[in-house]
Amino acid sequence: MIITVTLNPSLDRTLEVGRLERGVVLRTTTPTLEAGGKGVNVTRALAANGIPSIAVFPVGGREGSELHGLLADAGIDTRAMAVAGRTRSNITIAERDGTVTKLNEPGSALLDHEIRALSDLVADTVSAGDWIVMSGSVPPGFTGGRMRTFVSSLAAHDVSLAIDTSGDALAAAIDARPRLIKPNRAELAEIAGSPLECISEVIDAAQSVRDRGVEYVAVSLGADGAVLVGPAGVVVGASRVERPRSTVGAGDSFLAGFLAKFSMDETDVDAAMLEALAWGAAAASLPGTSVPCSADIDFTHVQLVWQPDLDRPLVAS
């Protein structure tokens, strides 16, 4: 089973416009309303492809009730915990050329007893051998120390731990030695303390993270594909999106695709990487934070690169 934990979920509203212009009145499409937050998106993607997953998250206020209702209507298995604060509401504006602008609220702080209760809820949900995916931003006031303690409490349950967050939260989570982290290029560069301009620099930075006790580092690179660094070496993958609509949530589908394969067979990392690339590319071709189902996933547009040009400049992101 794959359990996702989202500390700062969101109610996501996506609007499409021809071109975003400041200071004018714009006509949009009918909004798309979806349950959001990176961990929630991972569970949604897994469920859309028939893979069991449970999403654990706090909810508060009318937005939280609506988020929980959207997941229930979609038949998503959840363990939602009521909290005093209000669940945040985010807005995504997608332009016709694929440019995406996001307006994300910070969310509400979690109280100390709520953090402990959420940890207990995860403990009651998982079984030995499960994967726990802790993914997404953290709420205000959730310090590196709190993150380190929370992640360590999750790792104590004889599970495999995957982390997909950023900034101080990611740095603190690495101290708990998760099995897998999935940063993007900017997040890995922040850990490394320097820009990552080519594949070789991405590989070196990922290996430095592995030296700190993380088994696998899967780096999503957008138009430049992805890199996986693990015990057996390096895997480089490429993907193509013919008609990009929204990259929001594509990294979540990438992680979901990887774990869909890897959680069943850890001996074939190549297959897991191809699955991840295909799911991520499919998500980028869908509107808003929509997740791909099997009909959307096309493996003809992804491949592993056996002799990559390690010094080729990466596309700016």
Which residues are catalytic, by number?
Answer: 252
Q: What are phi and psi of 87, to 5 degrees?
A: -65, 135
DSSP state of 310: T
**What is d(CA 163, CA 16) in angstroms, rounded to the nearest whole number?**
31
Helix (H) or strand (E) holding 206: helix 199-210
Tell me the two tokens of residue 243: 């008609």
Task: Please list, in sequence order, all residues whose beta carbon lies within 8 angstroms of the beta carbon of residue 300, skipping any fewer than 6 positions away.
Answer: none
Nearest to 220 by CA among 211, 209, 229: 229
* Residue whose entry in the numeric block shows the structure tokens 């560069």: 189
Secondary structure class of 149 (helix, strand, coil): helix
Query: Residues 292, 45: contact at Cβ < 8 Å?
Result: yes
